[in-house]
């Protein structure tokens, strides 16, 4: 019995020591292995290619599929397409408007005088607020193709636009008017606007379709410089009879103010006024004084000799 009691006590002590943290399970007898996880490789995101605005397809076809136009670049956004009018805008470049209407409902600028009327109606004065450039009119298949551009000299009178470029395709029944307004005084912008206007295509049935395919590159060209005027013109431009006849007068009109001025050839054969200013006829309509100021001649003689109506 004594041996059994000793054995039982030994077992009890062994269990107690184990429960108190001694033995092989003791922290000082344990080997702890820190496992460092293998990092996943970092993958760069797949880049989204950026397409330049100049390289994107910018052809716009109208809602009714009657016309199309290739815009200068992808910064141009359609702002409206209804009731025969399509409008595009670019924040930094300008706007383009396409109008389709009856020819009876649109005022056609059939000549630079009509352009002057339109601009003056907007409160602008020629030579001060604007100048007309590159006016051209041609006829194709009984349709008139009119193109011109207006250079704005006073941004306060033009809503900040530097140029307005116009194209009218018109016959007795209908008219397409394309207007492109540019914000920058830049030949590059003018070229891009004209290229866009030239891309204008009539897709539906229209007698103006053939005329729309004619190039209008001339409206983008820099306007011809005024002729070099020389006050030392000899009398060879007039006959002796003309020089002696003081009735050889002309009435010219200031393009900026519309005021009339009577001029006549002096003894040296130079057109002059009573104040001694000299003038030269560039063609049948355009006259310039010695300082390059432009006047318009309508073809009539002066009613009053040697009297200036210029105030």
Q: What is the pLDDT of residues 45-62, one digit of tens each?
A: 766 655 455 557 799 999
Q: Which domains are delineated in the chain?
A: 59-220 (3.40.1000.10), 235-297 (no CATH)
Instruction: Report the pLDDT value the prediction gives residue 231, as an integer from 0 to 100.
Output: 38
Of how many residues is the chain composed? 311
Which residues are registered as beta bridge partners of 263?
Answer: 250
Q: Which two tokens stand for residue 91?
A: 């924040």
SS3 annotation, 100-120: EEECCCCCCCCCHHHHHHHHH
Instruction: Report the pLDDT value the prediction gives residue 108, as an integer from 0 to 100.
Output: 92
**For 59-81, how does the pLDDT look when each residue is reduced to its tens digit (9 = 90+)?**
999 999 999 999 999 999 999 99
Contacts for 224 with CB less than 8 Å, ≥ 6 apart = none
Q: Which two tokens stand for residue 180?
A: 């492109």
Distances (CA, A) of 69 to 61, 66, 85, 88: 7, 11, 13, 11
Measured CA to CA, the distance from residue 198 to residue 214 in angstroms comes to 8
Measured CA to CA, the distance from residue 182 to residue 188 in angstroms comes to 11
- N-to-C CA span, the chain: 150
Whether residue 122 contacts residue 109, with contact meaning beta carbons closer than 8 Å, is answered with no
> 10 Å Cβ neighbour count for 204?
11
Q: Which two tokens stand for residue 196?
A: 């866009």
* pLDDT tens digits in sequence order for the chain, 311 residues long: 555 555 555 555 555 555 555 455 555 555 555 566 677 767 767 666 554 555 577 999 999 999 999 999 999 999 999 999 999 999 999 999 999 999 999 999 988 888 998 998 899 999 899 999 999 998 888 899 999 999 999 999 999 999 999 999 999 999 999 999 999 999 999 999 999 999 999 998 899 998 888 888 889 887 755 544 443 433 334 455 544 454 567 888 888 777 888 888 877 778 888 888 888 887 777 888 887 788 888 765 543 333 333 43
Which residues are registered as beta bridge partners of 118?
Answer: none
**For 215-263, how does the pLDDT look when each residue is reduced to its tens digit (9 = 90+)?**
888 898 877 555 444 434 333 344 555 444 545 678 888 887 778 888 8
Distances (CA, A) of 185 to 24, 75, 225: 92, 19, 17
Q: Are strands 201-202 and 174-182 parallel, antiparallel or unpaired?
A: unpaired
Among 186, 162, 168, residue whose Cα is nearest residue 95: 162
């Amino acid at each position: 019995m004594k041996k059994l009691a000793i054995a039982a006590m030994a077992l009890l002590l062994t269990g107690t020591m184990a429960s108190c943290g001694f033995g092989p399970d003791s922290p000082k007898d344990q080997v702890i292995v820190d496992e460092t996880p293998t990092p996943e490789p970092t993958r760069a995101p797949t880049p989204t290619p950026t397409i330049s605005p100049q390289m994107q397809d910018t052809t716009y076809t109208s809602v009714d599929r009657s016309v199309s136009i290739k815009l200068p670049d992808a910064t141009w956004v359609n702002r409206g397409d209804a009731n025969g009018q399509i409008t595009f805008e670019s924040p930094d470049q300008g706007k383009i408007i396409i109008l389709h209407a009856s020819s009876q409902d649109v005022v056609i600028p059939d000549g630079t005088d009509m352009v002057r009327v339109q601009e003056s109606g907007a409160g602008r004065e020629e030579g001060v607020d604007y100048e007309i450039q590159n006016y051209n009119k041609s006829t194709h298949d009984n349709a008139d193709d009119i193109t011109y551009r207006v250079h704005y000299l006073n941004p306060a009178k033009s809503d900040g636009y530097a140029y307005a470029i116009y194209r009218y395709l018109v016959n007795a029944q209908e008219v397409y008017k394309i207007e492109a307004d540019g914000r920058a005084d830049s030949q590059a912008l003018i070229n891009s606007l004209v290229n866009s206007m030239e891309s204008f295509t009539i897709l539906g049935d229209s007698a103006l379709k053939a005329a729309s395919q004619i190039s209008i590159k001339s409206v983008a060209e820099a306007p011809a410089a005024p002729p070099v005027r020389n006050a030392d013109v000899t009398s060879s431009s007039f006959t002796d009879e003309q020089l002696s006849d003081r009735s050889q007068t002309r009435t010219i009109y200031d393009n900026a103010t519309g005021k009339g001025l009577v001029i006549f050839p002096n003894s040296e054969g130079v057109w002059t006024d009573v104040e001694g200013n000299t003038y030269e006829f560039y063609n049948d309509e355009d006259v310039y004084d010695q300082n390059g100021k432009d006047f318009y001649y309508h073809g009539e003689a002066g009613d009053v000799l040697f009297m200036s109506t210029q105030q």
